[in-house]
A and B are shown apart, each in its own frame.
Chain A
Amino acid sequence: MKRLHAVALLAIGLLLGSPVPAMAQKTSIDVAVAPTELSVVLGDRFTIETRLTNTDNAATGPLLAHLNVASLDNSVYVDPEDWSSERSQDVELEPGEAVTLSWELQAVNPGQIAVYVVVLPYGADAAANQQLVVSRLARVDVARRSTLTAGGVLPVVLIVPAVLAFAAIAARLRLRWRR
């Protein structure tokens, strides 16, 4: 029994004494996002801003801020490339320094969409297994819009070529009669 207790205590000791993985390390970058809620119409262009602040006493080294877009609705597939053509920005912050990054997006899917920014170490020296910093979620509600209808454009689409065809035929006939 004593041996069993000793083994259990040893196991607990080993567990508590094991090194803390880097994933759990406290990060020194604060990422604020604005606005956090947005309602747009399909096709609208909008801008989301993130403010990165180095709260540490040391420089951050090269960082990469990466924009991501995901659907909060299972039925909608979102390709972030369609939403923004420039989704990565390099940044390096001195102690206490802050920088605001602007992200231009276009709403190309309807529904409830999540937009967020991940900050990760950048460059050849970036170590594996580091904790990444993620901004708060910016929720974008995209409403459908279909203002262009076939019925609405039909009169112009038919009448203009018809008038010009008539003019072209009239000019030809006039020329023929003159000859």
Chain B
Amino acid sequence: MSRNRRTAAGWLVVAGQECRDLWLSGRGPLLLFVFSALLSTMTYVTSINKVLNFLEQREAVNLVLQVAVAVGALLSMVVAADGISGERERGTLESLLLTPVSGRAIVAGKAAAAVSLWLAAYLVSVPYLLVLSRGVGIAGPAAMAGVVVGTVVAGALTAIALLISSLSNSNKVSLAASIFLLLVLFAPAQLPSGRPQGWFFGVLRQLDPISSGLAYLSAVLVTGHRWTQDVSYLVSPVAITVLAGGALGLAGPRLVRLAAGGNGR
């Protein structure tokens, strides 16, 4: 079997095994339950709270979709951050490295399993979107924008987290570094708005894949912009996915070792 064919089949095997671990162990369904409880609370509060209920219905849909995309993508990141460093910490990476699967295939399979959590979270959010968008006819655009933006953002966060995980020996370090990086990117978005902050803060704001993805959703669903009008918002998550994913693809065999930066296989 050629190396490429082995990699192609290998990542599917790894993805299948990772998905079984995630979903049949009950970890995935438990995370989804917590996720759905959050969406239920948001949806119910939106429908009964007078302050929120004055919002235009499109904004209510956008609010719940933004929470679904942000939290769903973060769930993928948490699972990905555990990907390599978690195996190292639990001492199970050695047996994985002994299988006839390349480092690239291991990374790709783990990424696919992590993104599956986002896809499941998205499916869970669909009933909420349908019930909230009743009567305003934006269920279709909301569902389409949600799956596109969410998949792009989840892909970016998964790639970053897997890269950090492959460079970490400890799961705690991997998770903390991933979240810290997100917070650093997220901080500029929390600066007081309405003041001219210059191009530098504009660039910083667009660098955050979550903030820029959510801004795109608002532009399409609430402001009514065309799909292509604010597509620049998606440059950041796509670029991060390509760069981090490319780094993983190129350096995968060297990164997936018994110890980060060590000399194991």
Contacts and interface: CB of A to CB of B under 8 A. Distances in A.
Given A43-B55, A160-B40, A153 B47 contact: yes
A10 B29 CA distance: 96
Interface in A146-174: 146-150, 152-154, 156-158, 160-161, 164-165, 167-169, 171-172, 174
Interface stretch (B10-18, B72-80, B105-113, B124-132): B124-132
B33 interface: yes
Contact of B56 (A106, A152, A154): A106
Interface stretch (B20-28, B89-97, B150-158, B180-188): B20-28
Q: How large is the interface on A (under 10, 10 to 19, 20 to 34, 35 or more residues)?
A: 20 to 34
B47 A45 contact: no
A42 interface: yes
B33 A165 contact: yes
A152 B131 contact: yes
A150 B47 contact: yes
A167 to B, nearest CB: 4
Interface string A104-120: 00101000000000000
The interface residues of chain B, by DSSP majority, are classed as: helix
B53 A156 contact: no
Task: From A106, A150, A158, name the one whose CB has the most chain B CB atoms within 10 angstroms.
Answer: A150
Given A160-B36, A164-B29, 6 more contacts: A42-B54, A43-B57, A45-B56, A164-B33, A167-B29, A172-B26
Interface of A: 42-45, 85, 106, 108, 145-150, 152-154, 156-158, 160-161, 164-165, 167-169, 171-172, 174-175
Interface of B: 23-26, 29-30, 32-33, 36-37, 39-40, 43-44, 46-48, 53-57, 59-60, 124, 127-128, 130-132, 134-136, 194, 222-224
6 A-B pairs closest in CB distance: A43-B56, A171-B26, A168-B29, A164-B33, A148-B47, A157-B40
9 contacts: A43-B59, A85-B194, A147-B134, A149-B47, A152-B131, A153-B43, A154-B44, A167-B29, A169-B26
